[in-house]
Structure 1
Amino acid sequence: MQMNIDLQGLRVVVTGGTSGLGLALVRKLIEKGACVAFVARTASNVERIAAETGAHGIVADLGKKEHIYPIAMQVTASLSGVDILINNASSLGPVPLALLADTECEQLEAALAVNLLGAFRLTKALFGALAASAREGRGALVTNISSDAAVNAYPGWGAYGASKAALAHLTAIWDEEAKVDGIRFLALDPGDMDTPLHALALPDADPSTLKAPELAAAEIIEKMIGALPVRANLLAGEQA
């Protein structure tokens, strides 16, 4: 995979940026020259990753409505705009995983609050900034991290799978509606990864059978750059 492209000046927001895929994305984007702001709930982890990478860390919970606009204000202030939003933060719902008949309503609500409503609210709060980026010719893209659980009916994954299926369809609709604003929407499935979230869901899984988050991050960045017309020529040049 070619990853020598220069992302200098690209302004990117990553949710769930202190572990797993989110952390791998923050590190890779910073390495390639992007300006990055990331969001996570635990202050100590946010401070550590911000110090390590130089990215702007924001302590907030995507599942709480009242946190959304403060996130948006901090993002736009720290980055002076937004070119790419990556809605990566995820909640499994019940842990250990449970059949739907054994899932409490509050557990389903928790998965929907982060995986669907959190992504929707933050996208809506940053929509104006993304549209401005598109008008300036920088390109604008929202990437929603999906899962094969959004299309395959895995027993025990009901809350997570239903929320991701809703997110994938929301993405498709918004991609149609936002064409007039010049904003692209992608739903990307990174595959089964060796992450804390996966270990929480399937503690007995063999890590050697899972994809490294760093590889998944590189694949996602390549797909995102390919979806931004003003950057796609850079990717094409690297692959020539």
Structure 2
Amino acid sequence: MDLQLTGRVAIVTGASKGMGLAVTRTLLEEGAKVVAVSRRTTPELDALAGPNLLHVAADLMDEGAPARIVARAVEAFGGVDVLVNNAGGPPPGVSLPQFGFTTPDDGDWRRMFEFNLFAPVRLIREALPRLLESDAAAIVNVSTTMARQPGPMNYDYSAAKAGLANVTKGLSEEFGPQGIRVNTVSPGPVRTAWWTEEGGAADILAGATGADRDAVMDKVAPEMMNLVTGRLVEPQEVADAVVLLASPRSGSTTGAEVVVDGGSLKGL
């Protein structure tokens, strides 16, 4: 299926690994021009180098970053058609999961909201004038199932992502009539660096359950989270949903939430 993305210009945050890398790769395969945003590049991102890829090194917790990112996109490719706010999760120096309401302090809450809510809001605000110039503009915000299914852990993260989902709905109402579609993709647990890196979720849960880290990812976590598929989500599965929503082929889809969670959400 032709997703009609050839020549479209997309900004993707958190593009150096995991879901963002998969989104970047898929957009390039569909003929899009991609501005890949991350603090630093990776060998995997470097392997995608070509005339349609521009890496912009940026810390999204820097309030000046959005203006530089959009300016580079316009300078290199002439405009912006798609914005994928994928960067999120634990801010630098933070590991999740964190258990209990009293675990995060005020500083933790501020950093979590800065990274997962305020940074996307600032980038959307900066990109809007360029998106309004596009004849097929789309914003895709990556949230989490925890925004809809909170529990006694990761309070700050869940709340920040719930805020992002709310912003997405409001944007779809305000800017839909002006030609910008805005949607959410909400992954469940995805096999990314958040889980696999040393000191990440697999190690934290291994310490809490007494299992080894591989068993946590392959068996313990899927059982704890009631994943119908019996496994963690793969980054490419999330990327496929993101790119479809970014495509003009999804022209009547706006204000929607697409869940890619292995069946963890049980509510209607």
Q: Who wins on radius of gyration, i.e. which is larger?
A: 2
CA 1:61–1:149: 2 relative to 1, 3 Å: same
1:75 aligns to what? Answer: 73
2:225 aligns to what? Answer: none
> What is the deviation of 1:48?
6.2
> What is the deviation of 1:56?
0.4
2:28 aligns to what? Answer: 30
2:121 aligns to what? Answer: 120
User: 1:39-74 CA distances to partner (integer Å, 9 max, x unpaired)?
Assistant: 0012x43x8624533210000011111222111211
User: 1:99-143 CA distances to partner (integer Å, 9 max, x unpaired)?
Assistant: 22110211211111111111000010010000011xxxx311110
Aligned-residue CA RMSD in angstroms? 2.0
Q: Structure 2 matches for 1:34-183, cutoff 5 A?
A: 34-42=32-40, 44-45=41-42, 49-50=45-46, 52-54=48-50, 55-92=53-90, 94-98=94-98, 99-133=100-134, 138-183=135-180
SS of the residue aligned with 2:139? Answer: strand
- How many pairs are equivalent? 221
SS of the residue aligned with 1:63? Answer: coil
CA 1:90–1:174: 2 relative to 1, 3 Å: same
Identity %: 28
CA contact (8 A) 1:190 1:220 kept: no
Match of 2:233 among 205, 208, 211: 211
For structure 2, list consecutive stretches of 5 or more residues without a partner in the other structure: 204-212, 219-229, 253-268
CA contact (8 A) 1:21 1:213 kept: yes
Establish whether residue 221 from structure 1 lines up as the match of residue 243 from structure 2: yes
CA contact (8 A) 1:140 1:228 kept: no
CA contact (8 A) 1:14 1:37 kept: yes
Runs of 4+ in 1 over 6 A off after TM superposition: none
TM-score by length of 2: 0.76
CA 1:153–1:33: 2 relative to 1, 3 Å: same
User: Of Structure 1 and Structure 2, which has the larger fraction of its residues in helix?
Assistant: 1
